[in-house]
Amino acid sequence: MDALDLLKAKYLDGIIAASDEASLEEIRLAALGKKGEISLQMRELGKMTPEERQTTGAALNRLKDEIDGALRAKKEALADAALDARLASEWLDVTLPSRPKRQGTIHPISQVMDEVTAIFADMGFAVAEGPQVESDWYNFDALNIAPEHPARQEHDTFFMARNAADPRPPHVLRTHTSPVQIRALQDRGAPIRVIAPGRVYRMDMDQTHTPMFHQIEGMALGKDISMANLKWVLEEFCRAFFEVDDVELRFRASHFPFTEPSAEVDIRCSWDNGQLKIGEGDGWMEILGSGMMHPKVLAAGGIDPNEYQGFAFGIGIDRLAMLKYGIPDLRAFFESDLRWLRHYGFAALDLPTVFGGLSK
Protein backbone atom coordinates (compact mmCIF):
# COMPACT_ATOMS: atom_id res chain seq x y z
CA MET A 1 0.00 0.00 0.00
CA ASP A 2 1.56 3.33 -1.08
CA ALA A 3 1.53 6.61 0.84
CA LEU A 4 -1.71 7.90 -0.78
CA ASP A 5 -3.56 4.72 0.11
CA LEU A 6 -2.41 5.04 3.71
CA LEU A 7 -3.49 8.71 3.72
CA LYS A 8 -6.87 7.77 2.30
CA ALA A 9 -7.49 5.03 4.85
CA LYS A 10 -6.39 7.32 7.69
CA TYR A 11 -8.86 10.08 6.87
CA LEU A 12 -11.80 7.93 5.81
CA ASP A 13 -11.55 5.93 9.04
CA GLY A 14 -11.39 9.19 10.95
CA ILE A 15 -14.51 10.49 9.19
CA ILE A 16 -16.42 7.30 9.99
CA ALA A 17 -15.43 7.52 13.65
CA ALA A 18 -16.32 11.24 14.01
CA SER A 19 -19.20 11.77 16.43
CA ASP A 20 -19.90 15.47 15.90
CA GLU A 21 -19.36 18.34 13.49
CA ALA A 22 -16.43 19.69 15.51
CA SER A 23 -14.50 16.43 14.96
CA LEU A 24 -15.33 16.57 11.26
CA GLU A 25 -13.99 20.11 11.01
CA GLU A 26 -10.70 19.00 12.60
CA ILE A 27 -10.34 16.20 10.04
CA ARG A 28 -11.13 18.57 7.18
CA LEU A 29 -8.45 21.03 8.26
CA ALA A 30 -5.92 18.23 8.80
CA ALA A 31 -6.51 16.85 5.30
CA LEU A 32 -7.70 19.71 3.08
CA GLY A 33 -6.85 22.89 4.95
CA LYS A 34 -4.10 25.22 3.72
CA LYS A 35 -1.63 23.37 5.92
CA GLY A 36 -3.32 19.98 5.55
CA GLU A 37 -1.43 16.87 4.39
CA ILE A 38 -3.04 16.71 0.98
CA SER A 39 -2.54 20.44 0.40
CA LEU A 40 1.14 20.13 1.31
CA GLN A 41 1.57 17.23 -1.10
CA MET A 42 -0.08 19.27 -3.84
CA ARG A 43 2.63 21.89 -3.36
CA GLU A 44 5.32 19.27 -4.02
CA LEU A 45 4.08 18.69 -7.55
CA GLY A 46 6.24 21.55 -8.85
CA LYS A 47 9.38 19.64 -7.93
CA MET A 48 8.39 16.59 -9.97
CA THR A 49 8.99 15.71 -13.60
CA PRO A 50 6.10 16.29 -15.99
CA GLU A 51 5.26 12.59 -16.08
CA GLU A 52 5.29 12.25 -12.26
CA ARG A 53 3.36 15.48 -11.88
CA GLN A 54 0.59 14.24 -14.17
CA THR A 55 0.21 10.89 -12.43
CA THR A 56 0.58 12.10 -8.85
CA GLY A 57 -1.56 15.23 -9.42
CA ALA A 58 -4.47 13.16 -10.75
CA ALA A 59 -4.24 10.77 -7.78
CA LEU A 60 -4.16 13.65 -5.29
CA ASN A 61 -7.21 15.29 -6.90
CA ARG A 62 -9.14 12.01 -6.72
CA LEU A 63 -8.16 11.62 -3.06
CA LYS A 64 -9.16 15.21 -2.30
CA ASP A 65 -12.59 14.76 -3.95
CA GLU A 66 -13.19 11.45 -2.17
CA ILE A 67 -12.35 12.86 1.26
CA ASP A 68 -14.46 15.98 0.60
CA GLY A 69 -17.43 13.82 -0.44
CA ALA A 70 -17.05 11.64 2.64
CA LEU A 71 -16.98 14.75 4.85
CA ARG A 72 -20.20 16.11 3.31
CA ALA A 73 -22.01 12.79 3.62
CA LYS A 74 -21.00 12.41 7.26
CA LYS A 75 -22.09 15.96 8.02
CA GLU A 76 -25.55 15.28 6.57
CA ALA A 77 -25.79 12.03 8.53
CA LEU A 78 -24.95 13.84 11.77
CA ALA A 79 -27.56 16.53 11.01
CA ASP A 80 -30.23 13.88 10.34
CA ALA A 81 -29.36 12.10 13.58
CA ALA A 82 -29.60 15.38 15.52
CA LEU A 83 -33.03 16.11 13.99
CA ASP A 84 -34.30 12.62 14.85
CA ALA A 85 -33.12 13.07 18.43
CA ARG A 86 -34.87 16.44 18.67
CA LEU A 87 -38.11 15.09 17.25
CA ALA A 88 -38.01 12.22 19.72
CA SER A 89 -37.46 14.55 22.67
CA GLU A 90 -40.19 17.00 21.57
CA TRP A 91 -42.78 14.38 20.55
CA LEU A 92 -46.39 14.97 21.57
CA ASP A 93 -49.13 12.35 21.45
CA VAL A 94 -52.08 14.11 19.86
CA THR A 95 -54.19 10.94 19.80
CA LEU A 96 -55.03 11.05 23.50
CA PRO A 97 -58.81 10.82 24.11
CA SER A 98 -60.63 14.06 24.79
CA ARG A 99 -61.76 14.90 28.27
CA PRO A 100 -65.50 14.42 28.86
CA LYS A 101 -65.93 17.98 30.16
CA ARG A 102 -64.58 19.32 26.84
CA GLN A 103 -67.08 17.41 24.72
CA GLY A 104 -69.05 19.73 22.45
CA THR A 105 -72.82 20.10 22.58
CA ILE A 106 -75.44 20.88 19.95
CA HIS A 107 -77.23 24.20 20.34
CA PRO A 108 -81.00 23.85 20.93
CA ILE A 109 -81.72 25.88 17.78
CA SER A 110 -79.67 23.46 15.67
CA GLN A 111 -81.32 20.49 17.38
CA VAL A 112 -84.85 21.80 16.81
CA MET A 113 -84.05 22.65 13.20
CA ASP A 114 -82.91 19.06 12.68
CA GLU A 115 -86.03 17.74 14.45
CA VAL A 116 -88.36 19.83 12.29
CA THR A 117 -86.51 18.84 9.12
CA ALA A 118 -86.74 15.15 10.04
CA ILE A 119 -90.50 15.38 10.60
CA PHE A 120 -91.26 17.13 7.31
CA ALA A 121 -88.83 14.91 5.40
CA ASP A 122 -90.89 11.95 6.63
CA MET A 123 -93.92 13.62 5.01
CA GLY A 124 -92.12 14.07 1.69
CA PHE A 125 -90.92 17.67 1.99
CA ALA A 126 -87.54 18.56 0.51
CA VAL A 127 -85.30 21.29 1.97
CA ALA A 128 -84.78 24.50 -0.02
CA GLU A 129 -82.30 27.29 0.75
CA GLY A 130 -81.77 30.85 -0.39
CA PRO A 131 -79.61 33.93 0.24
CA GLN A 132 -79.94 35.91 3.47
CA VAL A 133 -79.42 39.18 1.58
CA GLU A 134 -82.42 39.45 -0.71
CA SER A 135 -83.60 41.90 -3.31
CA ASP A 136 -86.61 44.05 -2.52
CA TRP A 137 -88.54 42.15 -5.19
CA TYR A 138 -88.05 38.65 -3.74
CA ASN A 139 -88.58 39.77 -0.14
CA PHE A 140 -91.67 41.94 -0.72
CA ASP A 141 -93.03 42.40 -4.24
CA ALA A 142 -93.13 38.72 -5.23
CA LEU A 143 -94.96 37.96 -1.98
CA ASN A 144 -97.72 40.49 -2.68
CA ILE A 145 -96.53 42.86 0.06
CA ALA A 146 -97.74 46.34 -0.91
CA PRO A 147 -95.34 49.32 -1.05
CA GLU A 148 -97.15 50.97 1.91
CA HIS A 149 -96.91 47.87 4.12
CA PRO A 150 -95.21 48.60 7.51
CA ALA A 151 -92.70 45.80 6.94
CA ARG A 152 -91.17 47.83 4.12
CA GLN A 153 -90.28 50.72 6.43
CA GLU A 154 -86.77 51.16 7.86
CA HIS A 155 -88.03 50.88 11.45
CA ASP A 156 -88.96 47.25 10.73
CA THR A 157 -86.43 46.06 8.13
CA PHE A 158 -82.64 46.17 7.73
CA PHE A 159 -81.97 47.79 4.36
CA MET A 160 -78.50 47.42 2.85
CA ALA A 161 -76.58 50.67 2.32
CA ARG A 162 -76.07 51.60 -1.32
CA ASN A 163 -75.18 54.50 -3.56
CA ALA A 164 -78.17 56.65 -4.47
CA ALA A 165 -77.12 56.46 -8.12
CA ASP A 166 -77.06 52.64 -8.08
CA PRO A 167 -79.70 51.49 -10.62
CA ARG A 168 -80.14 48.08 -9.00
CA PRO A 169 -83.19 47.45 -6.77
CA PRO A 170 -82.66 47.88 -3.03
CA HIS A 171 -81.54 44.86 -1.00
CA VAL A 172 -82.50 43.86 2.54
CA LEU A 173 -81.61 41.30 5.13
CA ARG A 174 -84.50 38.95 4.51
CA THR A 175 -87.36 39.42 6.98
CA HIS A 176 -88.68 35.87 6.48
CA THR A 177 -87.72 32.73 4.60
CA SER A 178 -90.70 33.11 2.24
CA PRO A 179 -88.47 34.40 -0.61
CA VAL A 180 -87.03 30.89 -0.75
CA GLN A 181 -90.49 29.69 -1.80
CA ILE A 182 -90.43 32.00 -4.83
CA ARG A 183 -86.94 30.81 -5.78
CA ALA A 184 -87.99 27.16 -5.34
CA LEU A 185 -91.03 27.67 -7.58
CA GLN A 186 -88.88 29.32 -10.25
CA ASP A 187 -86.25 26.57 -10.09
CA ARG A 188 -88.38 23.44 -9.62
CA GLY A 189 -91.88 24.32 -10.81
CA ALA A 190 -95.00 22.47 -9.69
CA PRO A 191 -96.07 20.17 -8.11
CA ILE A 192 -93.71 20.77 -5.21
CA ARG A 193 -93.32 20.19 -1.46
CA VAL A 194 -90.51 22.07 0.28
CA ILE A 195 -89.54 23.56 3.61
CA ALA A 196 -87.16 26.50 3.95
CA PRO A 197 -85.37 26.78 7.31
CA GLY A 198 -82.94 29.59 8.03
CA ARG A 199 -82.02 32.90 9.65
CA VAL A 200 -84.18 36.00 9.27
CA TYR A 201 -83.74 39.60 10.45
CA ARG A 202 -86.09 42.27 11.85
CA MET A 203 -85.63 45.46 13.87
CA ASP A 204 -86.89 44.13 17.21
CA MET A 205 -85.36 43.23 20.60
CA ASP A 206 -86.99 42.17 23.87
CA GLN A 207 -87.56 39.03 25.94
CA THR A 208 -89.42 37.31 23.10
CA HIS A 209 -87.84 39.02 20.05
CA THR A 210 -84.30 39.39 18.70
CA PRO A 211 -82.95 41.21 15.61
CA MET A 212 -81.91 37.85 14.17
CA PHE A 213 -83.94 34.69 14.67
CA HIS A 214 -84.83 31.48 12.85
CA GLN A 215 -87.87 30.49 10.83
CA ILE A 216 -89.01 27.56 8.80
CA GLU A 217 -91.46 28.06 5.94
CA GLY A 218 -93.37 25.21 4.37
CA MET A 219 -95.11 24.99 1.01
CA ALA A 220 -97.03 22.29 -0.81
CA LEU A 221 -98.37 22.87 -4.31
CA GLY A 222 -100.54 20.65 -6.48
CA LYS A 223 -103.77 20.55 -8.46
CA ASP A 224 -106.10 19.45 -5.65
CA ILE A 225 -104.47 20.64 -2.39
CA SER A 226 -106.80 22.26 0.12
CA MET A 227 -106.96 23.64 3.67
CA ALA A 228 -107.78 20.11 4.81
CA ASN A 229 -104.33 18.97 3.67
CA LEU A 230 -102.79 21.91 5.53
CA LYS A 231 -104.63 20.99 8.73
CA TRP A 232 -103.49 17.36 8.52
CA VAL A 233 -99.85 18.32 7.89
CA LEU A 234 -99.77 20.73 10.83
CA GLU A 235 -101.48 18.26 13.18
CA GLU A 236 -99.02 15.52 12.24
CA PHE A 237 -96.12 17.90 12.71
CA CYS A 238 -97.25 19.03 16.17
CA ARG A 239 -97.95 15.45 17.24
CA ALA A 240 -94.45 14.36 16.21
CA PHE A 241 -92.56 17.43 17.40
CA PHE A 242 -94.11 17.69 20.85
CA GLU A 243 -94.17 13.88 21.09
CA VAL A 244 -97.78 13.61 22.24
CA ASP A 245 -100.56 11.40 20.92
CA ASP A 246 -103.41 13.89 21.08
CA VAL A 247 -103.17 17.30 19.43
CA GLU A 248 -105.96 19.80 18.83
CA LEU A 249 -105.43 22.82 16.60
CA ARG A 250 -107.65 25.87 16.20
CA PHE A 251 -107.61 27.93 13.03
CA ARG A 252 -108.46 31.63 13.39
CA ALA A 253 -109.12 33.83 10.36
CA SER A 254 -106.32 36.31 9.81
CA HIS A 255 -104.66 38.28 7.03
CA PHE A 256 -101.28 37.81 5.38
CA PRO A 257 -100.46 39.41 2.01
CA PHE A 258 -99.08 36.16 0.61
CA THR A 259 -101.98 33.80 1.51
CA GLU A 260 -105.73 33.90 0.88
CA PRO A 261 -107.51 32.69 2.93
CA SER A 262 -105.12 33.11 5.88
CA ALA A 263 -105.25 31.60 9.35
CA GLU A 264 -103.41 31.87 12.65
CA VAL A 265 -103.03 28.45 14.24
CA ASP A 266 -103.44 27.86 17.98
CA ILE A 267 -102.73 24.65 19.85
CA ARG A 268 -104.63 23.40 22.91
CA CYS A 269 -102.46 23.45 26.01
CA SER A 270 -102.31 24.00 29.76
CA TRP A 271 -99.80 25.28 32.29
CA ASP A 272 -99.17 23.11 35.34
CA ASN A 273 -96.81 24.68 37.92
CA GLY A 274 -95.11 26.63 35.17
CA GLN A 275 -94.76 23.60 32.88
CA LEU A 276 -96.38 23.66 29.46
CA LYS A 277 -98.47 20.63 28.55
CA ILE A 278 -99.47 20.27 24.91
CA GLY A 279 -102.73 18.64 23.85
CA GLU A 280 -104.65 19.01 27.12
CA GLY A 281 -106.33 21.68 29.22
CA ASP A 282 -108.54 24.63 28.38
CA GLY A 283 -105.88 27.07 27.14
CA TRP A 284 -104.85 27.95 23.61
CA MET A 285 -101.51 29.21 22.38
CA GLU A 286 -100.67 30.66 18.98
CA ILE A 287 -97.80 28.76 17.30
CA LEU A 288 -97.77 29.68 13.59
CA GLY A 289 -99.37 31.41 10.62
CA SER A 290 -100.66 29.68 7.51
CA GLY A 291 -103.04 29.81 4.55
CA MET A 292 -103.61 29.03 0.91
CA MET A 293 -101.00 30.61 -1.35
CA HIS A 294 -102.16 33.83 -3.01
CA PRO A 295 -102.56 33.63 -6.83
CA LYS A 296 -100.20 36.61 -7.23
CA VAL A 297 -97.48 34.75 -5.32
CA LEU A 298 -97.89 31.71 -7.57
CA ALA A 299 -97.68 33.92 -10.65
CA ALA A 300 -94.51 35.58 -9.34
CA GLY A 301 -92.98 32.11 -9.05
CA GLY A 302 -93.89 31.29 -12.64
CA ILE A 303 -96.84 29.02 -11.73
CA ASP A 304 -100.28 29.24 -13.37
CA PRO A 305 -102.73 29.88 -10.47
CA ASN A 306 -105.59 28.58 -12.62
CA GLU A 307 -103.95 25.16 -12.75
CA TYR A 308 -102.22 24.82 -9.36
CA GLN A 309 -103.03 25.74 -5.79
CA GLY A 310 -101.32 25.05 -2.51
CA PHE A 311 -100.77 25.98 1.10
CA ALA A 312 -97.95 27.67 2.98
CA PHE A 313 -97.08 28.11 6.65
CA GLY A 314 -94.38 29.71 8.75
CA ILE A 315 -93.06 28.72 12.19
CA GLY A 316 -90.52 30.36 14.47
CA ILE A 317 -87.85 27.79 15.31
CA ASP A 318 -86.64 29.74 18.35
CA ARG A 319 -90.19 29.81 19.74
CA LEU A 320 -90.58 26.08 19.18
CA ALA A 321 -87.36 25.44 21.10
CA MET A 322 -88.56 27.61 23.98
CA LEU A 323 -91.89 25.79 24.16
CA LYS A 324 -90.56 22.25 23.92
CA TYR A 325 -87.53 22.56 26.19
CA GLY A 326 -88.79 25.13 28.70
CA ILE A 327 -86.40 27.95 27.81
CA PRO A 328 -87.80 31.17 29.33
CA ASP A 329 -85.81 33.91 27.58
CA LEU A 330 -85.16 34.09 23.84
CA ARG A 331 -82.11 36.32 24.33
CA ALA A 332 -80.23 33.48 26.06
CA PHE A 333 -79.95 31.72 22.67
CA PHE A 334 -77.41 34.34 21.55
CA GLU A 335 -75.41 35.09 24.71
CA SER A 336 -72.72 32.38 24.25
CA ASP A 337 -72.99 31.28 27.89
CA LEU A 338 -71.35 27.84 28.10
CA ARG A 339 -73.16 27.06 31.34
CA TRP A 340 -76.48 27.63 29.60
CA LEU A 341 -75.43 25.52 26.61
CA ARG A 342 -74.28 22.64 28.83
CA HIS A 343 -77.68 22.74 30.55
CA TYR A 344 -79.87 22.97 27.44
CA GLY A 345 -77.50 21.54 24.81
CA PHE A 346 -77.68 18.13 23.19
CA ALA A 347 -75.06 15.42 22.76
CA ALA A 348 -73.09 15.74 19.53
CA LEU A 349 -74.35 12.39 18.21
CA ASP A 350 -77.98 12.88 19.31
CA LEU A 351 -79.41 12.80 15.79
CA PRO A 352 -83.22 13.22 15.69
CA THR A 353 -85.24 10.72 13.70
CA VAL A 354 -89.00 10.22 13.56
CA PHE A 355 -88.73 6.46 14.14
CA GLY A 356 -85.99 6.62 16.78
CA GLY A 357 -87.22 9.62 18.74
CA LEU A 358 -86.55 13.30 18.19
CA SER A 359 -85.13 14.29 21.58
CA LYS A 360 -83.21 11.99 23.87
Cis peptide bond prior to 197, omega within 30° of 0: no
State the Cα–Cα distance between residues 289 and 143, nearest whole angstrom.
Answer: 15
- The pLDDT tens digits for 208-257 are 667 888 999 999 999 999 999 999 999 999 999 998 888 899 999 999 98
pLDDT digits (tens, 9 = 90+) for 131-170: 999 988 898 889 988 777 776 665 678 878 777 777 777 8
CA pair distance 311, 290, nearest whole angstrom? 7
From the list 339, 351, 357, 318, the residue with the least C-alpha distance to 108 is 318
Determine the pLDDT at residue 220: 95
Alpha-carbon gap, residue 105 to 346, rounded angstroms = 5
Give the residue with greater pLDDT, 82 vs 233. 233
Q: Is the pLDDT of residue 81 over 80?
A: yes
What number of other Cβ atoms are within 10 A of residue 346's Cβ?
Answer: 21
pTM over 0.85: no
User: What average pLDDT score do residues 58-87 get?
Assistant: 83
Q: How far apart, in Å, do the first and last CA atoms of the chain sit?
A: 87
